[in-house]
Copies of this chain bind each other. A is one copy, B any other.
Amino acid sequence: MSITIKDVAKKAGVSISTVSRVINGSKPVSNEIRQKVLKVIEETGYMPNPVARSLVMKKSQLIGVVVPDLSNVFIGEILNGIEEIGKMYDYDILLCNTYGQLEQELRYLNLLKAKQVEGIIFMTWNLQEKLVEYLEKIEVPVALINRNTSKLHTPSVSIDNFKAAYEMTEFLIKNGHKRIALIRSSMDQNAFGLDQYNGYKKALDDHGLEIHEELIRYGNWKMENSYQIVKDFIDENILPTAIFAASDEMAIGAINCLLDNGYKVPEDVSVVGFNDIKLASIYRPKLTTIHQPIYDIGAVAMRMIIKKINGEEVDSNVVTLPHELIVRESSKCIE
């Protein structure tokens, strides 16, 4: 089998404790012996067994990462950030995909705890009550992605979704739009996207614009879905002059539907998105959207977790990263 600390000790003619000491630098070892041990390690290619180490130290160098979808580029980019920072600190990622299903989320949270992960980065579309409770009393450090609800006791990192949505809506208003549709996420109270919804409403309010309930629709972050929603607008004959989709994918679904039905974007309808995934500037017309530092969100979350693990003070439980309104081709000023 694999070579163990015992083998190294024997070959070097020392005790296993000594070997352990030179590996971990946990206690002084005379230079002579250290060299001898190091040489044997070199020769044998010995690598300490992390599982054994985990068992005794109750540490695993593992971070559990829970996401609702792996084929979502937004999430993928966040994962890139997480992984990159993890690598820097020698943390590995235990990946869990839940498709946003509560049952899976709970199951995985349990499993991760059992696997002795040292921290958990958690992402979901819909942060249900049950989850919140669970997360608040879990023993390992947790970081939430894309939730800036300070009501939660659980730390999180995201942009200011409320403000961003407010800005975008205001931008549309200042461009002369009065009937502005919103394609947001699920209806659930705790759904990701609630902040966007509130920002949207506040902006309309502040500018004395009426809120047309029939123009607020619930999507599921999928293009097909927003496509259908816009189709409904058309069929119901209530197509607005602007559509604000809570994600770039949904914006693109909306645009495609418009194009397929003979409408021009942005000439007939302005469509704006959210996130600024790579596709946003590649799709034609290029999307007007809210830019988020996606990679950084992942990176910051990981840094936060690692700090917590090391018992370092974390400045704030809710990290809010900057966003930016990017005006491209999918929106226009109307008279």
**Which A positions have Cβ atoms within 8 angstroms of B?**
1, 47-52, 54-55, 58, 60, 65, 69-73, 75-77, 79-80, 83-84, 87, 92-97, 104, 110-111, 113-116, 223, 252-253, 256, 259, 278-279, 282-284
A71 CB contact (under 8 Å) in B49, B80, B93, B115: B80
* Contacting residues, chain B, for A50 (C-beta < 8 A): 114-116
CA distance A77 to B325 in the complex (A): 30
Q: Judging by beta carbons under 8 Å apart, are B51 and A60 in contact?
A: yes
* Contacting residues, chain B, for A104 (C-beta < 8 A): 87
CA distance A94 to B64 in the complex (A): 9
Report the 5 A-B pairs with minimum CB-CB distance, sorted nearest first: A71-B76, A70-B79, A95-B95, A83-B97, A71-B77
* Contacting residues, chain B, for A282 (C-beta < 8 A): 223, 252-253, 256
* Contacting residues, chain B, for A96 (C-beta < 8 A): 83, 92-93
Minimum CB–CB distance from A68 to chain B (whole Å) comes to 11
Q: Judging by beta carbons under 8 Å apart, are B80 and A76 in contact?
A: no
* Contacting residues, chain B, for A253 (C-beta < 8 A): 282
Q: Judging by beta carbons under 8 Å apart, are A71 and B79 in contact?
A: yes
* Contacting residues, chain B, for A55 (C-beta < 8 A): 49, 51-52, 55
Minimum CB–CB distance from A309 to chain B (whole Å) comes to 17
Q: Judging by beta carbons under 8 Å apart, are B76 and A70 in contact?
A: yes
Minimum CB–CB distance from A130 to chain B (whole Å) comes to 16
* Contacting residues, chain B, for A48 (C-beta < 8 A): 114
* Contacting residues, chain B, for A93 (C-beta < 8 A): 94-96
Known: A95-B95, A96-B92, A110-B47. A76 touches B72 (CB 8 A): yes
* Contacting residues, chain B, for A252 (C-beta < 8 A): 282
* Contacting residues, chain B, for A49 (C-beta < 8 A): 55, 114, 116
CA distance A223 to B281 in the complex (A): 11
Q: Judging by beta carbons under 8 Å apart, are B51 and A116 in contact?
A: yes
Minimum CB–CB distance from A285 to chain B (whole Å) comes to 10
CA distance A284 to B257 in the complex (A): 11
Q: Judging by beta carbons under 8 Å apart, are B284 and A259 in contact?
A: yes
Complex A-B: 7 CB contacts under 8 Å:
A1-B58, A47-B113, A51-B51, A51-B60, A69-B80, A84-B97, A253-B282
Closest residue of chain B to A295, judged by CB?
B71
Closest residue of chain B to A116, judged by CB?
B51
* Contacting residues, chain B, for A47 (C-beta < 8 A): 110, 113-114
Closest residue of chain B to A284, judged by CB?
B259
